[in-house]
Structure 1
Amino acid sequence: MSGGFGSKYLDGGSNLLKSSADLGWTSVLTAEMYRHVTLECSDFLQPVTEVVVNIAGTAYFRRRAAGTEQRFVSHTGSASICPQGVAVRYLHLNSGPVDLLHIYMPQDLFGTLRQREESTMNPSFEYIGGLHDPLIQGIGFAVAEELARRDSQEATSRLMLDSLAVGLAARLLQRYRIDDRKNFTESYFDANSGRGLDRARLKRVLEYIQHNLDRDISLDDLANAACLSVFHFSRSFKVATGASPIRYISDLRIKRAQSLLIDKDVSISEIAMQSGFTSAANLARSFRKTVGVSPSEYRLQRTCR
């Protein structure tokens, strides 16, 4: 395995444990899990916004960008943010081992951020470490869990990963952005105003969902159908429909499964595939959670009437 945006960690002496690149993720985010014992990184310009979540272990950090040196202890669950455009002078870690999840956020995910008209990149978020943010922690653990599926036959849902990415982007925008509103386009405030999607965009998106319900739909696919950024689309879709994209699509898939279960000649595995679930087990979990009974029990109830 070779590091992507985290190649500086390999150069600094850390070990890459897992990478989303090796799992074929097509989500808007990418992630890597590194085991750090000691780390010595010299100056670098951060290419993308990076969120680091401690999955296991404890380590001591010293790092510095434009301000004073930051010193903090990283415990399980704590997080750090290194925004795109930050010129880091040095990054030192010692007293490991510690397993850190590194999540890389593409700039176009935010969609609402506009690059300043200067010759170099400028950060839009705080450069901050040693955070204790329950939401970032929860998202980080969820991404790490999906990353751990490398030996599993169960595919990771693009839509679920994209939803985690949007949730993380929303948290950064809500709590850690630099408060300089001239750096945000009008689309961000339109999304907050409650206008939602216009009828033409919503129609295109709903038609795309219906035609591709049996496929692995991503937020990027839906945003492209609406001709919006992923972040703007996700917020606007919920205003327009009352549900998040992942909840809306999940409900449609359950409804399709319910209609197919009436036919006793169609196997539950086939129904799972036609409904967009990666396996019969995934269908069973989602079905029981939504309907209250298993697909087999539902079929028996319907066919005995």
Structure 2
Amino acid sequence: MDGHGIAKFRDASLLATSADRPWTLISAEIRSHGAGEIGAFTPHNAEITQILRDENAAVSTRASGGVRQEVAATPGTTWLCPAGIREEATRLSADIPRVLHVYIPQHSFLSGEVAGLGFRAQDLRYQAEVDSPRIMALLRNIQLELGREGSAGGLRMDGLALDLISALARDHAEGGRQALPPRGQGTLDRRRLDRVLAFINENLEQDLSLTDMAEVACVSVFHFARVFQQTLGAAPHAYLSERRLDAARRKLAHGADSLSDIAQASRFSSQANFTRAFTRATGVSPGRYRQAILSH
């Protein structure tokens, strides 16, 4: 899923993108911006922008609807921009080498109980210098997943996206705080848990979403991740990642499938990302793991 970065930031170098990842509720990019002007633009997604690195004491100036915002673009500086507003040209006083852009499309605001808030992409506050520990933590996790793909990254990003929308609705809605539904409490009963685990094991080589799992469990997507973790002691993405890692080990031990085929079956966007993730998890590369198993 793409955001609107290609259309908005035509002169900014693209350093990383989630376009080839199975992310369904948000997308993200890291770009390098040169000094000068970013042309006027009307985004169709809600956008969050955060400075990751700045070595030049840059100042960013932007404006929309008579509101002008001029701030020092230091690492961690974060802006919000709702969908549908006409943002006038943004000016950067100096180069900014690494900037995170997160895009949230309208359909993501309609997921599960989040839809009941009546909070839409265009209801986000036009705000500079966001100071929210919760949002900062969520953006860090998005950046980490963008830089280090996991085998259940799409599922992890579903959860982060819902948490991010909830945090924005609570503290950064134009017109004031939105009341949030209570998060899931308790655990899944044995019958529902067995259905979900069977569904996961039968679909390890498919892209799975929180919505898919929640529907199998007959639980709302907004509550599912929490009750799943309270039942098994592991988040859905962590459980799925471990099951895919087990399947990859079995394929490597069998010796018939190529590394690229195993990477694809494990739902990685590339063999290189699979190799990095497998090595992080096991301490040895897939090739060396296969060699060690087959040599015995």
| Structures share fold, TM-score greater than 0.5 | yes
SS of match in other structure, 1:128: coil
Provide TM-score, normalisation by structure 2: 0.67
Q: Provide closer, same or farther for how the CA distance between residues 92 and 240 of structure 1 changes in structure 2, counting only shifts above 3 A.
A: same
SS of match in other structure, 2:50: strand
1:74 maps to 73
Alpha-carbon contact 1:234-1:244 (below 8 Å) kept:
yes
Matching of residue 103 in structure 1 with residue 102 in structure 2: yes
Q: Using the alignment, how far apart are the partners of 2:90 and 2:216 within structure 1?
A: 44
Q: Using the alignment, how far apart are the partners of 1:196 and 1:22 within structure 2?
A: 33
Counterpart selection for 2:233 from 242, 248, 262 = 242
Structure 1 segment 1-305 matched on structure 2, within 5 A: 5-6=4-5, 9-10=8-9, 14-18=10-14, 23-28=19-24, 29-32=26-29, 33=31, 35-39=33-37, 42=40, 44=42, 46-57=43-54, 59-64=58-63, 69-84=68-83, 87=85, 90=88, 92-98=90-96, 99-110=98-109, 111=111, 112-114=113-115, 123=123, 125-131=124-130, 134-139=136-141, 141-142=143-144, 145=147, 159-164=152-157, 166-167=159-160, 169-171=162-164, 173-174=166-167, 176-178=171-173, 180-182=177-179, 184=180, 188-189=181-182, 192-197=183-188, 201-219=192-210, 221-223=212-214, 225-226=216-217, 231-259=222-250, 263=254, 266=256, 269=259, 272=262, 276=266, 278=268, 285-287=276-278, 289-291=280-282, 296=288, 300=292
Q: What is the deviation of 1:284? A: 5.8
Q: Using the alignment, how far apart are the partners of 1:62 and 1:286 within structure 2?
A: 39
Superposed CA offset, 1:47-79 (max 9, x none): 332111224445323334578533211124432
Q: Which runs of 5+ in 2 are unaligned?
A: none
Q: What is the deviation of 1:174? A: 3.6
Q: Provide closer, same or farther for how the CA distance between residues 270 and 26 of structure 1 changes in structure 2, counting only shifts above 3 A.
A: closer
Look up the equivalent residue of 2:99 and give its one-letter code. Answer: L
Q: What is the deviation of 1:90? A: 3.5
Q: Using the alignment, how far apart are the partners of 2:279 and 2:251 within structure 1?
A: 16
Q: Using the alignment, how far apart are the partners of 1:285 and 1:22 within structure 2?
A: 17
Answer with 249-258 or 204-213: which moved more: 249-258
Q: What is the deviation of 1:272? A: 3.6
Q: What is the deviation of 1:210? A: 0.8
Provide TM-score, normalisation by structure 1: 0.65
Q: Work out the number of aligned pairs and report it.
A: 279
Q: What is the deviation of 1:195? A: 3.3
SS of match in other structure, 1:205: helix
Q: What is the deviation of 1:301? A: 7.5
Q: What is the deviation of 1:250? A: 1.8
RMSD: 4.5
**What percent of counterpart residues are identical?**
23
Q: Which runs of 5+ in 1 are unaligned?
A: 147-155
Look up the equivalent residue of 2:114 and give its one-letter code. Answer: L
